[in-house]
A and B are shown apart, each in its own frame.
Chain A
Amino acid sequence: MTDLVLENIGKTYPNGYQAIPSIDLSIEEGEFIVLVGPSGCGKSTLLRMVAGLETITQGDLLIKGNRVNDKEPADRDIAMVFQNYALYPHMTVRANMEYGLKNRGVSKQERHNKVMDVAAMLGLDELLERRPGQLSGGQRQRVAMGRAMVRDPKVFLFDEPLSNLDAKLRVQMRVEIRQLQRKLATTTLYVTHDQVEAMTLADRLVVLNKGKAEQIGTPMELYDKPATTFVAEFIGSPSMNLLDGMLTERGIALSDRLALPMAHDYRGAIKWGIRPEHLQQSDAVNGDFSLQVQAVESLGAETLIHGVLEDGAEQPNPIVVRLSGPHLPDIGSRMWLTAPLQHWHLFDAITQQRL
């Protein structure tokens, strides 16, 4: 059953600035949806519109079939975890978690039971009488989640909840959030600018760019078949290599001297893309093209090689290759590569759409 529906949702500020032109999205019950995009893409605005903290100037927002556009945040049956956690600093952890229940007239005994249940689930039992100021970043994060969970809302909203944590804790909390969400099966809308977080958490991803949904799909759909160059570059790290080329009857001409054979009906300017992990090391006989190595980043399990394409073009075309295991090519040396056809991505150079 669909739980949360955004129909032609848009936001135009009174000064005429259009933050979000129009977005359609329907979310199934229990689904984990991640809104991802660079800063200023409107993802937080969209989340806050769902929460009721920003007005919706166009379209309909339905929660469980009810139009909630004009309802107060409190009446939408949602809970939100803020980037800075927004814990009430003068209240204990227990009071923080109880506050929403108290305002809704839940009895003292029931409040106590609910808080204890959630505290046990999150490992907060020991911290209930402390104040937020006495907690570490990770603990605060947990309390913020606890406060959202206690109310057992229809929808969870997360606004970049992990961005204030250090890298190690972030990974740990990421896994924990995913597990909790599976267990509770509560519909979740999660905002992040971190594509790794987005890929690992999401059932489906919404990639936002300038207030528009560039593509909506599962993480693997977005990885395998990015709909636009924006998605292609945004999903995956390091980003996909994208080169300008011309599609002719002989194949893809990347420069006057370098062409990759391919049969395609389209003719004209394109962008040719291949992910760094799909390039394979080869030799002068079998290689599709060669690279002049400029920098090597050894990460142990894998090696990133940065170089420029040796295609005789005036503008150097930078290329990143990701090889598994350790490799130590000399800076300035030549490296032959093959690009398997099944991993190519072609985009219209003008519309930036996938061909």
Chain B
Amino acid sequence: MSVYFPQKKLPYLLVLPQLVITAIFFLWPAGQAVLQAFYREDAFGLSQQFVGLENFVDLFQDPLYYKSMMVTMVFSFSVAFLGIAVALWLAVMADRVIRGKMVYQTLLVWPYAVAPALAGVLWWILFDPNIGPVALFLDRIGLHWNHFLDGDQAMILVVISATWKQISYNFLFFLAGLQAIPRSLIEAAAIDGASSFKRFWDIVFPLLSPTTFFLLVVNLVYAFFETFGVIDTTTQGGPDGSTNTLVYKVFKDGFIGLDSGGSAAQSIVLMAIVGLMTVIQFRFIERKVQY
């Protein structure tokens, strides 16, 4: 949709606040990061030395960086897959509920309103090896839980915390997608002799595929870039870097390791990834399959 303004200045004036915010909070720091990526700075920020691409060379020769990449991949795809699968299951169930539909749906949407850090704390308490009820329960059934020592368990914990929040978002989209499928299609399939299981896999799931693909991209972006709070409140990237995702590593190297140059170089790589994912998102989602 296009809107035409007779005046030349008004439209620019109207978008100015947004542009100013973008410039101050995004473009300026991003520019600073780009600059910093080419310098080496001492821990107190007293001296700078131009080092060219050395920060990047160091980065791509660091096995820890590749480990962090792997961790990010495992984490992101686990969150996306789990988040989508659980949300789809919940949406299909909620769609069938007749009595108290609104109550179910509202309750299922609530977690989305919880801040990421709080979600992290919540799960951290539930799984705390000393006081957490879930950890105690697992101990009782013979599964020793300590995510401070066991890297896999730490990964499971952050995946659960990050997924839990995202399920609400996915749920809403799936519910809307399900409600957009004409009921007569399901009825036709029922007359055609398809069991409810087949109706789902043959009819409903393919018709939801545009929604599923959209959510896959959105969830990957979420897991990549927006899970700092969850990780910071639960595992702080540990143990031994087993939950140290790329975003968390930027923070850790820059603000705890005080290696601002290396951290800035990592930010540049992340920016490139964001750019790439945005392109994918626009290219595929804008012309998503239409039925």
Contact = CB atoms under 8 A, between A and B. Distances in A.
B61 to A, nearest CB: 48
B15 to A, nearest CB: 38
Interface stretch (A2-10, A27-35, A98-106, A314-322): A98-106
A93 interface: no
Given A73-B190, A74-B191, A103-B198, 12 more contacts: A53-B187, A53-B191, A78-B191, A80-B191, A82-B187, A88-B189, A88-B203, A89-B207, A89-B291, A99-B194, A104-B193, A147-B192
19 contacts: A51-B191, A72-B190, A74-B191, A74-B192, A78-B191, A82-B184, A82-B187, A82-B188, A83-B184, A86-B182, A87-B188, A88-B189, A89-B207, A99-B189, A99-B192, A99-B194, A100-B191, A133-B291, A151-B192
B291 A90 contact: yes
B193 A74 contact: yes
Nearest to B289: A90
Interface string A53-73: 100000000000000000011
Interface string A124-144: 000000000100000000000
B251 to A, nearest CB: 44
Contacts of B58: none
Given A86-B182, A89-B207, A89-B291, A103 B193 contact: yes
B98 to A, nearest CB: 10
A103 B194 contact: yes
Given A73-B191, A80-B188, A104-B193, A99 B202 contact: yes
A79 B192 CA distance: 8
A18 interface: no
B185 interface: yes
Interface in B239-291: 290-291
A187 B192 CA distance: 18
A86 B193 contact: no
B192 A100 contact: yes
Contacts of B206: 90
A83 B185 CA distance: 11
Contacts of A53: 187, 190-191
Contacts of A80: 187-188, 191
Nearest to A51: B191
Give the size category of A's interface with B: 20 to 34
Interface of B: 182, 184-185, 187-194, 198, 202-203, 206-207, 209, 290-291
A99 B209 CA distance: 20
Contacts of B187: 51, 53, 73, 80, 82, 86
Q: Which of A51, A80, A89, A147 has the largest number of chain B CB atoms within 10 A?
A: A89
Contacts of B192: 74, 99-100, 103, 147, 151
Contacts of B290: 133
B206 to A, nearest CB: 5
Interface in A33-63: 51-53
A226 B111 CA distance: 63
A84 interface: yes
A88 B184 CA distance: 10
B185 A86 contact: yes
A51 B290 CA distance: 30
B177 to A, nearest CB: 14
Interface in A142-158: 147, 151
A79 B193 CA distance: 10
Nearest to B290: A133
A86 to B, nearest CB: 4
Given A73-B190, A74-B192, A99-B194, A84 B184 contact: yes
B212 to A, nearest CB: 13
3 nearest CB pairs, A to B = A100-B192, A103-B193, A86-B184
A84 B194 contact: no
A79 B194 contact: no
A88 B185 contact: yes
A84 B191 contact: no
A96 to B, nearest CB: 9
A298 to B, nearest CB: 42
A53 B198 CA distance: 18
A80 B198 CA distance: 19
Nearest to B291: A89
Q: Which of B188, B189, B194, B202 has the largest number of chain A CB atoms within 10 A?
A: B188
Contacts of B207: 89-90
A317 B212 CA distance: 63
A64 B189 CA distance: 23
B290 to A, nearest CB: 8
Q: Which of B192, B193, B194, B206 has the largest number of chain A CB atoms within 10 A?
A: B192
A149 to B, nearest CB: 13
A67 B209 CA distance: 40
Contacts of A87: 188
A89 B181 CA distance: 10
A79 B203 contact: no
Contacts of B190: 52-53, 72-74
A181 B43 CA distance: 88
A73 B196 CA distance: 12
Nearest to B209: A90
A79 B187 CA distance: 11
Contacts of A73: 187, 190-191
